[in-house]
């Protein structure tokens, strides 16, 4: 094999990977958030789950992308392990579409696809046309690169050393390891199988020599999902483990079938003159058969994953941590195989935690004005620290992900969350201010009158009712109904603030309260008014970002006992 052939092979391989990436990106962008919506509405029906997994993977041309999305959804708490397993099984079936396309041998028309795709990308100034152009051009590049790979590998059929090496691949262990390692490096089972097909078409590899490598490729494709689960919660790790278990079980079963039956010669005889079709169909039979065999044992695979990765006591600790946003969102590699939709879902859940903490602190802060305790003050301070931590971490993740190219709708939504978390952080600050006034009153030996305390109770009620509107209208798509209600609520808070200031001045004039108490009460009213402003800001950001289904989250912050 000459130096020119080696260069041609690696150039063709690079084009193949680029064509796959281009086609996958175009398909994913064209589908938009519909993929997320389909997965979120998934029922527990196993056959529907498998069908959805297969369809989505066939659409976006990457089982890796589908599996990484599923790991993200499980980490976000919107999909169960059982649902994830059906999607993964379907993804393994859907991934066969690339090898089947290659087997059809459209290389002669590949330049036509490339030409049409580039015309749409360069000359048609329309987003949808751009994405369609990416799909068509990507497919053309993929098919063209296969013909170049086949050409570069033809000299190997007369290389004695290479032919000797092929005989070692008949060893099941070695073949599995070669396929696993090669796919782990490429991060693409489709690319690995494409190379096998190119070798077969070039006459350098037979089905008998490649069968165990193909089984190893199916195990190697799990590497990306395993890496994406690092830093995620326990269930996300179990999801990646189930993907690995599925393919290991399939590889072991088919290895026994291959060794002890004439399965492979029989398959080769069915398509004697089409080596690429042989490999593509073996890949399809492997995934279809493994899925059919393992469907009845789905719940046992889930239990096995839970047994291998049991819950740990440290997972239940309540120290400051991100529950849904994971380090993989900060890796460039994630955006190559993942979906912004996963990040948006995780971001929403993390924001819901933050809002729940702010609501708890607003409740506590008004309560301590009437009945101040050291324990409640400590809870308020610790929760406020947690809110600040979440704001800082969420802002960091948002700023990082916004640097990635994405569709405009996703960018608007993520920016809206940036505004929401900033306003939630300010809600926490005002709650802390109000609690601080209670401490100030105690330290000075002051107390509000019962009339003033009754007004504080009204402030608490109005603040919590305004906050609850965000959850109350979740099923109405956070439309103009929510904004109208929130504006009414904000106006009512402003009116109450003016009314209570007048009342306080009357109490000051009549001598029923001291000047110092009056100043503190005036500051408290200012914070009450600001709470209404920030809640309206949050509602406006939710509406602008087209965010819906805001869910209530119960968050309890651990309070360490005081040392004597």
Identify whether 327 is part of a domain.
Answer: no
Asked if 242 and 280 sit in the same domain, the reply is yes
Across 455-474, average pLDDT = 86
Asked if 167 and 248 sit in the same domain, the reply is yes
Q: Pick the range with the lowest mean pLDDT from 141-145, 414-418, 426-430.
A: 141-145
Identify whether 325 is part of a domain.
Answer: no
Identify whether 333 is part of a domain.
Answer: no
Dihedral sign for Cα atoms in the order 55, 59, 63, 68: negative
Identify whether 266 is part of a domain.
Answer: yes
Instruction: Measure the CA–CA gap between 526 and 518, rounded to whole angstroms.
Output: 12
Asked if 305 and 348 sit in the same domain, the reply is no
Residue with tokens 């999909």: 79
**Structure confidence at residue 558 as a pLDDT band (50, 70, 90):** low
Asked if 303 and 354 sit in the same domain, the reply is no
Asked if 492 and 351 sit in the same domain, the reply is yes
Split into its structural domains, the chain has a count of: 2
For 320-354, give one letter per residue: b (16+ CB within 10 A) or e. Answer: eebbbbbebbebeebbbbbbbbbbbbbbbbbbbbb
Across 234-247, average pLDDT = 87
Model pLDDT for residues 16-31, shown as the tens digit of each residue: 778 777 776 776 666 5
Report the pLDDT value the prediction gives residue 161, as an integer from 0 to 100: 67
Q: Has residue 537 got a pLDDT over 70? A: yes
- Find, among 212, 203, 209, 213, the residue nearest to 274 by Cα: 203
The neighbour count for residue 236, using CB atoms within 10 Å, is: 27
Asked if 284 and 343 sit in the same domain, the reply is no
- Find, among 39, 104, 47, the residue nearest to 78 by Cα: 39
Distances (CA, A) of 250 to 227, 290, 298, 337: 21, 5, 14, 24
- Find, among 222, 214, 207, 139, the residue nearest to 175 by Cα: 214
With a threshold of 0.95, does the pTM exceed it? no
Asked if 297 and 213 sit in the same domain, the reply is yes
Report the pLDDT value the prediction gives residue 361, as an integer from 0 to 100: 94
User: Is 387 in contact with 364 (CB distance < 8 Å)?
Assistant: no
Identify whether 155 is part of a domain.
Answer: yes
Rounded to 5 degrees, φ, ψ at 449 are: -70, 165
**Structure confidence at residue 545 as a pLDDT band (50, 70, 90):** confident
Asked if 161 and 267 sit in the same domain, the reply is yes
- CA 272-285-215 angle, to 5 degrees, is 95
- CA 12-142-210 angle, to 5 degrees, is 70
Q: What is the extent of the structural domain holding 438?
A: 339-544
What average pLDDT does the structure give for the chain? 81
Asked if 297 and 419 sit in the same domain, the reply is no
Across 264-289, average pLDDT = 88
Identify whether 557 is part of a domain.
Answer: no
User: Is 271 in contact with 212 (CB distance < 8 Å)?
Assistant: no
Write down which residue in 310, 331, 347 finishes a domain: 310
Write down which residue in 271, 295, 310 finishes a domain: 310
Asked if 174 and 288 sit in the same domain, the reply is yes
Model pLDDT for residues 472-522, shown as the tens digit of each residue: 765 545 456 778 888 999 999 999 999 999 998 888 888 777 888 889 999
Model pLDDT for residues 82-126, shown as the tens digit of each residue: 888 888 898 888 888 777 776 776 667 788 888 998 999 888 888
Distances (CA, A) of 401 to 50, 64, 205, 410, 547: 30, 20, 43, 11, 18
Model pLDDT for residues 291-317, shown as the tens digit of each residue: 999 999 988 999 999 899 887 655 544
Q: Has residue 318 got a pLDDT over 90? A: no
Contact residues for 99 (Cβ-Cβ < 8 A; gap 6+): 190, 193, 194, 197, 279, 280, 283, 284
Containing 140, the helix (H) or strand (E) segment is helix 127-153
Instruction: Measure the CA–CA gap between 352 and 105, rounded to whole angstroms.
Output: 51
Identify whether 562 is part of a domain.
Answer: no
CATH code of the domain containing 348: 1.20.58.220
Q: Pick the range with the lowest mean pLDDT from 116-130, 227-241, 296-310, 367-381.
A: 227-241
Q: Has residue 326 got a pLDDT over 70? A: yes
Q: Which residue would you say has higher pLDDT here, 61 or 114?
A: 114
Asked if 300 and 360 sit in the same domain, the reply is no
Asked if 75 and 201 sit in the same domain, the reply is yes
Instruction: Measure the CA–CA gap between 282 and 266, rounded to whole angstroms.
Output: 11
Identify whether 564 is part of a domain.
Answer: no
């Amino acid at each position: 094999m000459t130096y020119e052939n080696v260069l041609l092979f690696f150039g063709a391989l690079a084009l193949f990977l680029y064509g796959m990436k281009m086609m996958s990106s175009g398909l994913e962008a064209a589908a938009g958030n519909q993929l997320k919506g389909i997965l979120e509405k998934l029922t527990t029906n196993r056959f529907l789950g498998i069908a959805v997994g297969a369809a989505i993977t066939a659409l976006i041309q990457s089982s890796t992308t589908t599996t990484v999305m599923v790991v993200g959804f499980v980490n976000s708490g919107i999909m169960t392990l059982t649902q994830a397993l059906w999607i993964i099984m379907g993804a393994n079936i859907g991934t066969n579409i690339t090898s089947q396309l290659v087997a059809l041998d459209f290389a002669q028309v590949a330049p036509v696809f490339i030409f049409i795709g580039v015309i749409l990308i360069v000359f048609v100034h329309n987003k949808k046309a751009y994405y369609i152009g990416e799909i068509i051009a990507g497919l053309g590049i993929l098919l063209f690169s296969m013909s170049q790979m086949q050409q570069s590998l033809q000299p190997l059929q007369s290389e004695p050393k290479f032919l000797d090496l092929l005989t070692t691949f008949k060893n099941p262990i070695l073949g599995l390891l070669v396929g696993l390692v090669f796919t782990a490096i490429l991060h693409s089972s489709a690319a690995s199988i494409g190379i096998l097909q190119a070798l077969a078409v070039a006459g350098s590899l037979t089905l008998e020599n490649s069968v165990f490598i193909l089984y190893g490729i199916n195990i190697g494709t799990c590497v990306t999902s395993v890496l994406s689960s690092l830093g995620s919660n326990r269930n996300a790790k179990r999801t990646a483990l189930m993907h690995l278990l599925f393919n290991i079980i399939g590889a072991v079963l088919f290895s026994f079938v291959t060794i002890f039956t004439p399965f492979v010669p029989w398959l080769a005889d069915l398509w004697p003159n089409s080596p690429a079709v042989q490999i593509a169909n073996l890949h399809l039979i492997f995934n279809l058969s493994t899925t059919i065999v393992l469907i009845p044992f789905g719940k046992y695979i889930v239990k096995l994953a839970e047994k291998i990765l049991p819950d740990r006591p440290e997972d239940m600790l309540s120290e400051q941590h991100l529950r849904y946003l994971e380090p993989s969102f900060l890796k460039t590699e994630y955006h190559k195989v993942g979906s912004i939709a996963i990040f948006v879902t995780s971001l929403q859940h993390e924001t819901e935690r933050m809002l729940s903490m702010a609501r708890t602190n607003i409740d506590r802060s008004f309560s301590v004005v009437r009945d101040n305790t050291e324990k409640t003050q400590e809870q308020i301070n610790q929760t406020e620290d947690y809110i600040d931590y979440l704001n800082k971490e969420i802002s960091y993740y948002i700023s990082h992900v916004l640097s990635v190219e994405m569709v405009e709708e996703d960018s608007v939504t993520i920016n809206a969350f940036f505004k929401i978390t900033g306003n939630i952080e300010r809600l926490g600050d005002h709650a802390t201010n109000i609690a601080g006034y209670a401490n100030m009153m105690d330290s000075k030996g002051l107390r509000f009158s019962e009339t003033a305390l009754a007004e504080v109770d009204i402030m608490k009620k109005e603040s919590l009712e305004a906050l609850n509107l965000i959850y109350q209208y979740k099923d109405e798509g956070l439309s103009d109904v929510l904004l109208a209600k929130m504006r009414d609520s904000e106006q009512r808070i402003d009116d109450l603030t003016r009314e209570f200031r007048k009342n306080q001045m009357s109490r000051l004039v009549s001598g029923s309260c001291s000047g110092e108490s009056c100043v503190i009460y005036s500051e408290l009213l200012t914070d009450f008014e600001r709470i209404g402003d920030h809640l309206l800001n949050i509602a406006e950001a939710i509406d602008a970002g087209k965010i819906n289904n805001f869910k209530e989250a119960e968050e309890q912050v651990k309070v360490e006992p005081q040392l004597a």
